[in-house]
Amino acid sequence: MKRSTILALGAGALGGFAAARIYKNNRTVRLSSTGKHIVILGGGFGGLSAASKLIELAGDRLRVTLIDQHNYHLFTPMLYQVATCGVVPYDVAIPLRTFTGPRGIRFRRATVRGVDFEKKTVQTDSADVSYHYLIIALGSTTNYFGNESAREHTLPLKSLEGGLAIRNQVIDCLEKAAEITDKDEQKKLLTFVVIGGGATGVETAGALADAVQHLIPRRYPTLSTNDTRIVVIEAGSKLLGHMKSKMAQIALGELRNTGVEVWLNTTAKNVNNGNVETNEGRSISAATVIWATGIRAADVVSKSKTDHGKGGSITVNEFLQVPSHPDVFAIGDNALAKLKSGPVPALAAAAMQEGHTAAMNIVRMLQNKSPLRFRYKNLGSVVSIGHRVGVAEIAGRVIGGFSGWLAWRVVHLARITSFRNKLATVLDWSTGYFYDVDTARLEVETREQAA
């Protein structure tokens, strides 16, 4: 076994474990029963991390309530695999009650409408919930940067519904292309544009290229892979945004090796009727346009009565507190932390670290101790680029190819909290490795539609 592969397995496992367990402390602090009510808004990586740490530190000495509009935790790093037929949607949706129930955390499925910081009340669509301490971890939504044509004519990849919609769109395009003889229309159906060259865009484009190249010869014999076209449009000068330049170079080379076109320093100016126009005057006709760039805080966060930063996130101090309301913490995509080390990246690992710090600071405040400053620890980055190809930066070293792909799988498998979902994911990956991907079109019909 190659040294780089061994490094990928060992460092990848270590990185995944560290991301899931950073700041682990098995000792329960001495905290008498306070009756204090801690409310956590959001069941994403940050929210679950905070809830887990609170229970670890204080046990049943605190009342902890987790509120989310869905009753599942969405494992967003693998959402692109739902969109490209790599896994079924249920593999990335982990029931929240499997996490909250055994830990004594109360879960409420409700949509948050607002927060009254003065009355210390969370307003939901079902009832108001009072709190002593609040952690805001509602995640983010798609940011179209004011491009209304993109909002109307692209498919966002930010939710389970969005991933399923893209999956069905890809399958529909292949099915329609196989049944028509009009070459121009067929070419349009087999052209896929991904707007955004960050990790999500790169992973989506790579997996999509791999899927169509394997599917067409076996399942759509009337089509040719030579007629497919996948284009990534990225506004920046390199792929993968904040990640190391070496990772971006490897990703660019691997995408181009699979036949994916990459347009750097290019923005999508207008999207209309399957036609994408760029700032450079170029245009491309595509039946599928995926929006994989830009995030902003949820509306309930951006409209809250406090100071805001980029994308509507809440400005917090070095302790992750809202300065005007020290009993309120904001983490993940909902927080703009002003740290000397620079901005905190919008990553699951960062949100988890912030969740741990927010939980520890609440417990420390209940003990009349000073809160701890948040310090972000970069645990590295992993990106998958199709079948058996990836790139990873772990412990300061960048590895690509099969080793990078293996590191991605080890890290993300370690982060999945549910054993059932781990097993289902491994089975899906194994099936996809040795056989074709699943192209069953998944849809839900209402009783009226079925009639």
The last residue of a domain, from among 293, 310, 342: 293
Contacts of 1 (CB under 8 A, 6+ apart): none
Reading the block at residue 34, the tokens are 């306070």
Final residue before a domain boundary, out of 316, 335, 366: 366
Residue at token pair 């370690």: 414
385 assigned to some structural domain:
no
Residues 275 and 313 in one domain: no
Q: Do residue 252 and residue 328 come from a single domain?
A: no
Residue 315 within a domain: yes
346 neighbors 354 (Cβ within 8 angstroms): no
Residues in CB range of 42: below 8 A, 6 or more apart: 67, 68, 136, 137, 138, 139, 332, 334
Whether residue 269 is found in the same domain as residue 350: no
134 shares its domain with 161: no
Same domain, 125 and 27: yes
Rounded to whole angstroms, the Cα distance separating 378 from 198 reads 18
Q: How far apart are the first and last CA of the chain?
A: 57
Give kind and range of the element (H or E) at residue 255.
Answer: helix 245-257
Phi, psi (rounded to 5 degrees) for 398: -100, 125
Q: What is the pLDDT along the chain (451 residues), one digit of tens a residue?
A: 444 443 444 444 434 444 444 434 434 444 555 689 999 999 999 999 999 999 999 988 999 999 999 999 999 999 999 999 888 888 899 999 999 988 899 999 999 999 999 999 999 999 999 999 999 999 999 999 999 999 999 999 999 999 999 999 999 999 999 999 999 999 999 999 999 999 999 999 999 999 999 889 989 999 999 999 999 999 999 999 989 999 999 999 999 999 999 999 999 999 998 899 999 999 999 999 999 999 999 999 999 999 999 899 999 999 999 999 999 999 999 999 878 777 898 899 999 999 999 999 999 999 999 999 999 998 889 999 988 899 999 888 999 999 998 888 888 777 776 666 766 666 665 555 545 666 777 775 544 433 3
Do 289 and 300 fall into the same domain?
no
- By CB atoms closer than 10 A (0-12, 13-18, 19+), residue 331 is buried
| Coil/strand/helix, residue 418 | coil
Q: Is the dihedral of CA 324, 327, 331, 333 positive or negative?
A: negative
154 and 116 fall within a common domain: no
The total domain count for the chain is: 2
Looking up residue 29, the CATH number of its domain turns out to be 3.50.50.60
Residues 152 and 283 in one domain: yes
Q: By C-alpha distance, which of 207, 195, 199 is closest to 244?
A: 199
Residue ending a domain, choose from 366, 392, 417: 366
Q: Which domain holds residue 206?
A: 148-293
5 within domain boundaries? no
